Structure 1
Amino acid sequence: MAGGGFAKLPGGSVVVALSLPSPPGGSGAPGARVRVLVHAVNRQRALTRLRNLGLRAVYLRGNTEPPTPDEITAVLHHPDGLVWRAAPEDDTESWHPIRSLLRKPAGSGASGG
């Protein structure tokens, strides 16, 4: 089960933070966890954004690991409003766009001609 939480912002939108297993083919070692942050108009929309990217079994049950103020700042300053980091406790690691986590390994796609 994913650990996570949310923070409601003064404008009415929310930032949802989830700690998820690193997807197969994604960055990180097998069994590693990543912290994913999503900015959306509400919690359901945030989870829908993740599901639309292929993370189908993502649920938020409770508010045990809400986003920190630094995490909120990071996701609000990203143009997509959707970022991740492999080592949530390591403040020296940068936040990455979600596409880099979900991209297929080199050589697994069809080549264009």
Structure 2
Amino acid sequence: MPTVGVEDLKDGDFVLDVREDDEWQAGHAAGALHIPMSELVARYGELTEAAPQDARVHVICRSGGRSAQVTMYLAQQGVDAVNVDGGMQVWQAAGREVVTDGGEPGFVV
């Protein structure tokens, strides 16, 4: 399965966060699209509308398990998707910005 490290992501890369609502509300990557894994199939159209055409989709969760499953699903649909290794835990540990919906500093639960 295609995987990238947090350090490989650049500003402006398209990030899909598949964590649950409470995890998202505590803190997420600025600019990420939030579609919980449990809702992805039903909300797939939102992803295709939001992602720039031919953009790679960087899928992230808390630690990498859920995002790995979603990455495999998206790849089967023909989407250029990669799993972000270590997820939001590594994102935060690497000093990357974690925000709330209001733009305030957030944290990973």
Q: TM-score, normalised by structure 1?
A: 0.25
User: Which structure's residues are more often helix, by fraction?
Assistant: 2
User: Which structure's residues are more often strand, by fraction?
Assistant: 1
Q: TM-score, normalised by structure 2?
A: 0.26
